[in-house]
Structure 1
Amino acid sequence: MVTRLWRFIRHNPALSLALAFLLLVLALALFSSFLPHDAYRQNVLVRNSGPSLKYWLGTDALGRDMVARLAVGARVSLTVAVASTIIAVAIGVLVGTIAAYAGGFIDNAIMRFVDSMYAFPDTLFAILFAALIKGQLGGDVSGWMAPLAEAYRLSGGLLGVLLTLGLTGWVTTSRLVRAQVLSLKHAEYVLACRLAGASHWFIIRKHLLPNTLPVILIAVTFVVPNAILLEAGLSFIGVGIDPPTPSWGTMIASGAQSIQSYPHLLVFPALAIGLTLLALNVVGDALRDLLDPAVSASRGAAT
């Protein structure tokens, strides 16, 4: 499998470039503290400076280094992408598996709820949900919600974004998993397990979920770019990450106010988001081709 994967990457130049760029973003996020400048250090004497040898991508309106802030923003985006994807995929797999395996009235009720979720635009629903969380946890909160409010404050609004994206991004995953489980639950080996007296949980855990793993991996490639884009959009309109924590969305919002005078404040964070989403889409397409038996068969026939 490793040899096949390496051969697949080596014969796909676009995938190689995408993986190299994502590794660069990951390295910046992990080792941002080792950069020459601090993301929060202000120096008004060099504010709005253009790219130079000292400040590779220039500085912002408060004299903070753009490279350092983009690196910390990458950490925020990757944290949001990974954590919210785990939440969304877990919910989607649970909902899709229960709906497909139970069938009948339960399947119809769950899928009608999923259809109603599809009726709302993703961005609008995320904005409403994020504004609700920010309003509930952003102020003075007492009672059982006090720990959540404290976690929200300590995370700089990151908790609210994670909950928003995790609780709104599971719909597509649930449909993909449901379709796969529907095609598997009547397979001969599943029927043999039932006849042997295996429990429902054993069948799901040992036979259905492992065979839905390719579909789950493909679903991840849809959820991760969407999470990064939605986080940037929420931060752009002020209901996402709270300042002064750097976020690509907040950096774009700040740069849009001075695009004519200092275009680098907008161009570099916009390029960071655009190139990251492009790389993730390339990796997602390659992963789908690798895991799709029909595509693999056509490649083998062609060679």
Structure 2
Amino acid sequence: MTQHPEQLPKGVFERVTIDPSQAEKIAKPSLNFWQDAWRRLRKNKGAVVSLVVFLLILIMSIIGPHIGQFDPNQQTITHANLPPKVGGLEFLPLFDGVGTLGGQEVDLYEMKNVEVNYWLGTDGLGRDMFSRVWAGTQVSLFIAFMAAIIDMGIGIVYGGISGYFGGRIDDVLQRIVEILIGIPNLVVVILMIMIMDPGITAIIIALTITGWIGMSRVVRGQILKFKNQEFVLASKTLGASNTRIIWKHLLPNILGIVIINTMFTIPNAIFFEAFLSFIGLGLQAPEASLGTLINDGYKLIEFQPHILVYPAIVLSIIMIAFNLIGDGLRDALDPKMKD
């Protein structure tokens, strides 16, 4: 005897009628690569907050030297070594204008008959620290961005040519890179600064002499990875020139990794510039950078800590912000991190 499977009662299922025009509708909006990367970057709260903080510092580095009433290099010896004082915030210990003199805490502004307030105090020559900190930040950021842009340009061209053409060209170019890597970076930088007159141009050139090597090796590796892919071979079959293949196919695919490496290059350049200025090989007086300000401040840290603290805080914030932004971009631009 044949047994029939148990039948479900009628009414359990309901017929759903779908509009044919909506049958193949995509639920999510269509996004290109950069829109999708921006969407994922916005989910990284640390990177977004760091980006906002860095933009604020960038804006202040531009307008900060002009907000105060003092020129960054203006010297007023009678106002030397004044602590920070902000009108309306005298109730805060950090901004009350009180300093230590002879082991006693006194209001140095009243003692020296100073009628103006210095928001971040003054240095040993009576220069306004508020304007000098932001002027120094502007110089440090300019040097870092210029060095990063030059490194990126040279690295992309050098690494792209080496990886794409390969063969004898690749062998020669990579031997040159290996020779440059074998020379300590600090030695090259010191020699260049000794040959050239100290200044912004000398520091930028010194930073870019060997700074592009890392970028070129990354670009070369990515080009070697993509140049034998099917879409490149198809373009070659259709008669595309080498220039078109590089600009239209290879470069857009490696742009993400180039941006990520550039974001990590900038804080390294800022720190290296600060290091050079700290050891006396950077900018010369009276020009200011974060490194020169820290160099001036550490000598008086026991008596006038504000000269060191504020540029050190700005430098630390910039370094942390750039590293968090770089981490966020790495996650956003990496296709393997797609959700």
TM-score interval for Structure 1 and Structure 2 normalised by the shorter chain: 0.7 to 0.9
Partner SS, residue 286 of structure 2: coil
Task: Give the partner amino acid of 2:167.
Answer: G
- 1:293, distance to aligned residue in structure 2 (A): 1.1
Q: Distance in 2 between matches of 1:114 and 1:181?
A: 17
Q: Which residue is 1:46 aligned to?
A: 79
Q: Given the alignment, which residue of 45, 66, 69 partners 1:13?
A: 45
Give the length in aligned residue pairs: 276
Q: Which residue is 2:175 aligned to?
A: 112
1:67-124: per-residue Cα shift (whole Å, max 9, x none)?
Answer: 1101111110111122111111111001100110111222122223223333334334
Does the 8 Å contact 1:218/1:287 carry over to 2? yes
Q: Are 1:231 and 2:276 counterparts? A: no
Q: Which residue is 2:144 aligned to?
A: 81
Q: Distance in 1 between matches of 2:78 and 2:48?
A: 41
Task: Give the partner amino acid of 1:178.
Answer: R
Does the 8 Å contact 2:297/2:307 carry over to 1? yes
More helix by percentage:
1
What TM-score do you get using the length of structure 2 for normalisation? 0.76
Does the 8 Å contact 1:101/1:182 carry over to 2? yes
Cα RMSD of the aligned pairs, angstroms, is: 1.9
Does the 8 Å contact 1:77/1:247 carry over to 2? yes
Q: Distance in 2 between matches of 1:233 and 1:128?
A: 16
Q: Distance in 2 between matches of 1:89 and 1:70?
A: 28
- 1:193, distance to aligned residue in structure 2 (A): 1.9
Identical aligned pairs, as a percentage?
Answer: 40
Does the 8 Å contact 2:188/2:206 carry over to 1? no
Task: Give the partner amino acid of 1:212.
Answer: I
Q: Distance in 2 between matches of 1:193 and 1:10?
A: 35
Task: Give the partner amino acid of 2:331.
Answer: D
Q: Are 1:161 and 2:224 counterparts? A: no
Partner SS, residue 31 of structure 1: helix
- 1:213, distance to aligned residue in structure 2 (A): 0.7
Task: Give the partner amino acid of 2:129.
Answer: M
1:250-277: per-residue Cα shift (whole Å, max 9, x none)?
Answer: 1111112222221221122122111111
Q: Which residue is 1:61 aligned to?
A: 124
Q: Distance in 1 between matches of 2:85 and 2:144?
A: 31
- 1:130, distance to aligned residue in structure 2 (A): 2.4
Q: Which runs of 5+ in 1 are unaligned?
A: 139-156
Q: Distance in 2 between matches of 1:68 and 1:58?
A: 10
Q: Which residue is 2:133 aligned to?
A: 70
Q: Which residue is 2:216 aligned to?
A: 174
What TM-score do you get using the length of structure 1 for normalisation? 0.85
Partner SS, residue 155 of structure 2: helix
Alignment of structure 1 residues 239-254 onto 2, 5 Å: 239-254=281-296
Q: Are 1:291 and 2:333 counterparts? A: yes
Q: Given the alignment, which residue of 150, 161, 165 partners 1:98?
A: 161
Q: Which residue is 2:194 aligned to?
A: 131
Task: Give the partner amino acid of 2:201.
Answer: L
1:158-201: per-residue Cα shift (whole Å, max 9, x none)?
Answer: 11111111222101101111111101111112112222222212
Does the 8 Å contact 2:37/2:333 carry over to 1? no
Q: Which runs of 5+ in 2 are unaligned?
A: 1-30, 87-116
Cα distance change, pair 66–178 in 1 and its aligned pair in 2 (3 A): same
